[in-house]
Amino acid sequence: MNKSLIVSYVTIVYGLEQLFNYANLSILRPQMMEGNMWLNDTIGVVPKNSWSIDPFGYSATMAYLLRRMGFHNMLIQRTHYELKKELAMNKNLEYLWRQNWDIDETTDIFVHMMPFYSYDIPHTCGPEPAICCQFDFARMRSFSYESCPWRFDPVETNANNVQERAMKLLDQYRKKSTLYRTNTLLIPLGDDFRYVSTEEAEAQFRNYEKLFDYINSNPHLKAEVKFGTLEDYFSTLRDEAERINYTRPGELVSSELPGFPTLSGDFFTYADRNQDYWSGYYVSRPYFKAVDRVLEQTLRASEILSSFVLGYCQKLQCVKLPISFSHKLTAARRNLALFQHHDGVTGTAKDHVVVDYGTRMHTSLQDLQLFMSRAVEVLLGDIHDRSDPTLLSHFEPVQERSKYDVQPVYKVLNPHGGKAHSVVLFNPLEQTRDEIVMVVVSNPDVSVLNSNGSCLRSQISPEWQYVSGEKVSTGQHRLYWRASVPALGLETYYVATGYDDCAKATPAVVKAFTTAGQFPCPEPYVCSKLEGKTVEMKNSYHSLSFDVRHGLLQTVTRNKDGEHTDVGEEIGMYRSHGSGAYLFKPIGEAQSIVEEGGYFILSEGPLVQEAHSLPKTQWHKSPISHSTRIYSCGDSIQDMLIEKEYHVELVGHVFNDKELIVRFKTDIDNQGVFYSDLNGFQMSRRQTYDKIPLQGNYYPMPSLAFLQDSLGNRFSVHSKQSLGAASLKNGWLEIMLDRRLTQDDGRGLGQGVVDNRPMNVIFHLLRESNVSALPKTHSLLTLQPSLLSHRVGAHLNYPMHAFVSKKAQEKSFKLAQQTFAPLTSPLPCDVHVVNLKAPQPLKFHHAEAVEARFALLLQRRGWDASFCRRGGLNCTTIGEEPVNLFYMFKDLAVLDVKATSLNLLHDDPEMLGYLEQIGDVAQEGNVLISPMDIQAYKLDLQPPSSQEE
């Protein structure tokens, strides 16, 4: 061995990963900002090194976010064992991680990948765990940890054995060093649940100190070994890399740190040994994955509303509302962050821990909905009202959950005697929103009015439920109407009875097929029998064909050009042996479970058409029922999509060791390639390989997956929650919905996963055709969603929040204001407000006048320019034109604008990799963001001086 120096840092790290870990199955979350600011406020530390050893695969989005937060180094562990082997052979385990769209090298971050099976001491000192375990001194007999499984336990280091022990340890260090380029080596020393006593920590330190002293006192060993931190390691390595050029001929290097290769992409799907692919956790406990998404979007909406209350009304009586709720907003951020742990959102925690996660999220959801109900009232009322704004609101959410583990239910409106319920809608998106909305009413004789008192067209449809395997009406009705709500704003509607000048809601026409005998027709609907084997449902954009006897979607035809697409919906089930919370190990392929028969009900109205299916299966109680909806909103985004809602109940022993899927068998020639998203932020190309098992071809699908052929025909599925997806045969897109496993898969959980809850999974399907064909090399590219697809995903994952008056009021009743429109104009179609928040509302009145009290995070989405630029959307601008922050808000002055990092702790734009022109923002207010970038700004918001008087 030719190395003259090995600097080995023995790093004791425990309990910190959660602060720095970003869950791989989530859209952009607030927890890193919360954790980083807490560290800075509490102990004065601004982190710049990421330690993330236990997530099961890694997303490139994590690397991007860390870089934009001012981090320069990260350490990772769990990547596919064959990949580790390949990187180790070429000494590429340390590299610069670059985003695949980045041509300016502004996203590069240095990565150290640990080389062996695990992060525990037997797998960190070198390649031979039987030897390394002998240097885990907490396994000596005086402690309660298990002994080494290789039957050679550690012994106390003393003068008689120190030479032999030190040489054996140093030999492992030297062998490990051959896998890396530099003479600086990292040896972590720790494990889960370690250092719980000072005696244990002292045993490790005492023994290693003797070993280090021996090595360091013998120059002929040509090694220096010492204790250090992660920062010590990275700074020493960077110093060495600046002195010695480790670049290889023809290697693409980075200005961030020369001497190492640059790599792009992600690390899914993870396998730790044999054919054990960790693709099961993509779907485990999907109910809680859905709640996680709901809490995230509710928290974002609450922080935006809190900012508007603080910004528009800074007098004491108004500020009191967000300040009084600030501790609950903080608790919500932390409860969401807690669930983002790699054994939380993944569904890989013990049952009692899941209950704790669920209870915490449920509590925060209730707190946030209470706050939003009051904030809506304040923003629509006299914001200078001196009454206590923290009192209970006259509004309540349209949907509420009674417990942490049940589906939300709609509040049933019952206006009568000429009275009306006011319904306030909050649009959390940055463009005006036109879409069909829904509430549940008990009385079908209702009308809908807008805030001006004008009558609106509305529709009622029966609400269905399943009782003893039959589909029957609940006796209540779904009321639909078209709503238009300003960007980041509020709009009021009225659901009323006794308005003779207004037409009542139009009842849908119901058609039914059932093999169970007579179908009970609810009042006041007209029902008829469905004849024939197929039936069509259409709006201005689509015609959908269904197989009536199986209740499944067959084809989609685009009405404007007659273009026909096979969809071939199929519902199937895998049997498994050895699958657990982490692993997916199916026995063969999934088999269809739908038989001929069951219920199929078509509900047709002027605004919404819906096909309900309760399929017949071999089980008395079917594990799934589903609905397909299309909308007639009038040339809106909603008209262009197809909504699928699956009600899943994989409950009971009959479904043990089974995994439920839906599969769309399209006629798109995707040639074994499909695309799924990472964190709702970027797409990743997925290739299906015959040489690896089925489970290795499953990939995470947090929010989107699509197929595309060489002519640019694309089929996309947007999801409202994180799941797993695959394209196992040409033209197929398969998504797993739920899984129930009785066995532990040996990865540390110690139990199966059989606590399934009834749940709803919602997809938005989108069929698009390209303007021009892609180049022949398209299969090597990472494709992006179209602009339309981004908007469809945003509408699904950032739904409107609806609040209704607790009591019906006289029809002459009107709120002080019916509309709240805070933006001067909608933002460009590809610019997204990640968040608008007051990071420290408790310090709002204590901050100096010049200190910015708000933070605005903007993202410019990357989109596929080969698709129509506007995609049929009613938007006037895209992000190629700058956004001026000074004129962004109506009736609010924007002051003290300063670019900052995504954790709000760094104010050096050049260090963060922002565009050079960003420095002009403070003077001119213009923000120009590169596609795919997220940028953060500190600013202050002040109402005009006339409002403060």
Residue 949 pLDDT greater than 70, yes or no:
no
Which one, of 451, 513, 517, 509, lies nearest residue 481 by Cα?
451
Give the span between the Cα atoms of 87 and 947, in whole angstroms. 63
Q: 643 - beta bridge partners?
A: 629, 764
Predicted local distance difference test score (pLDDT) of residue 383? 56
Half-sphere exposure of 833 (CA within 13 A, CB side): 25
Share of the chain above pLDDT 90, in %: 76
Are 729 and 669 spatial neighbours (Cβ–Cβ below 8 Å)? no
Scanning 456-574, the segments in alpha helix (DSSP H) are none
pLDDT-based confidence at 876, cuts 50/70/90? Answer: low
Predicted local distance difference test score (pLDDT) of residue 780? 60
Better pLDDT: 545 or 844:
545
Residue 687 pLDDT greater than 70, yes or no:
yes
Are 77 and 55 spatial neighbours (Cβ–Cβ below 8 Å)? no
Which one, of 834, 826, 838, lies nearest residue 890 by Cα?
826
Residue 329 pLDDT greater than 90, yes or no:
yes
Predicted local distance difference test score (pLDDT) of residue 947? 41
As given in the structure block, the two tokens for residue 74 are 């990260």
Better pLDDT: 944 or 297:
297
Better pLDDT: 706 or 850:
706
What is residue 86's three-state secondary structure?
A: helix
Give the tens place of pLDDT for each residue, 892-902: 999 889 999 99
What average pLDDT does range 582-594 have in this prediction? Answer: 97
pTM passes above 0.75: yes
139, amino acid identity: R
**Crossing angle (nearest 10°) for helices 326-339 and 351-380:** 140
Give the span between the Cα atoms of 927 and 911, in whole angstroms. 18
Domains of the chain and any CATH numbers: 5-267 (3.20.110.10), 283-398 (1.20.1270.50), 411-507+800-822 (2.60.40.1180), 508-797 (2.70.98.30), 824-942 (2.60.40.1360)
Half-sphere exposure of 76 (CA within 13 A, CB side): 30
Count of CB atoms situated within 10 Å of the CB of 501: 8
342, amino acid identity: H
Give the tens place of pLDDT for each residue, 65-96: 999 999 999 999 999 999 999 999 999 999 99
Residues 6+ apart with CB under 8 A from 619: 654, 655
Give the span between the Cα atoms of 655 and 658, in whole angstroms. 6
Looking at every residue in the chain, the average pLDDT score rounds to 90
Which one, of 770, 694, 755, lies nearest residue 727 by Cα?
694
Residue 9 pLDDT greater than 80, yes or no:
no
Half-sphere exposure of 561 (CA within 13 A, CB side): 6
Please give the DSSP secondary-structure letter assigned to residue 243. H
Predicted local distance difference test score (pLDDT) of residue 316? 63
Predicted local distance difference test score (pLDDT) of residue 773? 52
Are 23 and 16 spatial neighbours (Cβ–Cβ below 8 Å)? no
Give the span between the Cα atoms of 773 and 945, in whole angstroms. 56
Predicted local distance difference test score (pLDDT) of residue 576? 94
Predicted local distance difference test score (pLDDT) of residue 569? 98
pLDDT-based confidence at 545, cuts 50/70/90? Answer: very high
The number of angstroms, rounded, from the C-alpha of 864 to the middle of its chain's C-alpha atoms is 21
pLDDT-based confidence at 516, cuts 50/70/90? Answer: confident
Q: For 90-104, 528-542, 912-926, which range has the lowest pLDDT when averaged over its residues?
A: 912-926
Share of the chain above pLDDT 70, in %: 90
DSSP states of 695-761 as a string?
GGG-EEESSEEEEE-TT-EEEEEEESS-EEEE--STTEEEEEEEEEB-S--SSS--S-B-----EEE
Which one, of 719, 680, 677, lies nearest residue 700 by Cα?
677
Predicted local distance difference test score (pLDDT) of residue 840? 85
Give the span between the Cα atoms of 321 and 469, in whole angstroms. 48
Residue 918 pLDDT greater than 70, yes or no:
no
Instruction: Evaluate the omega torsion of the peptide bond into residue 524 and state whether it is cis, within 30 degrees of 0.
Output: yes
**Crossing angle (nearest 10°) for helices 326-339 and 286-312:** 150
Give the span between the Cα atoms of 315 and 191, in whole angstroms. 52
What average pLDDT does range 790-816 have in this prediction? Answer: 88
The number of angstroms, rounded, from the C-alpha of 449 to the middle of its chain's C-alpha atoms is 36
pLDDT-based confidence at 372, cuts 50/70/90? Answer: very high
As given in the structure block, the two tokens for residue 795 are 């509408």
Residue 919 pLDDT greater than 70, yes or no:
no
Give the tens place of pLDDT for each residue, 422-480: 999 999 999 999 999 999 999 999 999 999 889 999 999 999 887 666 667 889 999 99
What average pLDDT does range 139-158 have in this prediction? Answer: 93
Give the tens place of pLDDT for each residue, 617-670: 999 999 999 999 999 998 899 999 999 999 999 999 999 999 999 999 999 999
Residues 6+ apart with CB under 8 A from 847: 840, 853
Please give the DSSP secondary-structure letter assigned to residue 45. -
What is residue 801's three-state secondary structure?
A: strand
Greatest mean pLDDT among 576-580, 811-815, 842-846 lies in: 576-580
Predicted local distance difference test score (pLDDT) of residue 27? 39
Are 432 and 826 spatial neighbours (Cβ–Cβ below 8 Å)? yes
Predicted local distance difference test score (pLDDT) of residue 753? 98
Q: 166 - beta bridge partners?
A: none
Residue 779 pLDDT greater than 70, yes or no:
no
Predicted local distance difference test score (pLDDT) of residue 17? 35
Give the span between the Cα atoms of 421 and 448, in whole angstroms. 10
Residues 6+ apart with CB under 8 A from 379: 305, 308, 309, 312, 490, 817, 820
Catalytic residue numbers?
54
Give the tens place of pLDDT for each residue, 373-428: 999 999 998 555 555 666 778 899 999 999 999 999 999 999 988 899 999 999 99
Better pLDDT: 24 or 158:
158
Give the span between the Cα atoms of 591 and 572, in whole angstroms. 5
Residue 823 pLDDT greater than 70, yes or no:
yes
pLDDT-based confidence at 870, cuts 50/70/90? Answer: low
pLDDT-based confidence at 222, cuts 50/70/90? Answer: very high
As given in the structure block, the two tokens for residue 43 are 């102990």
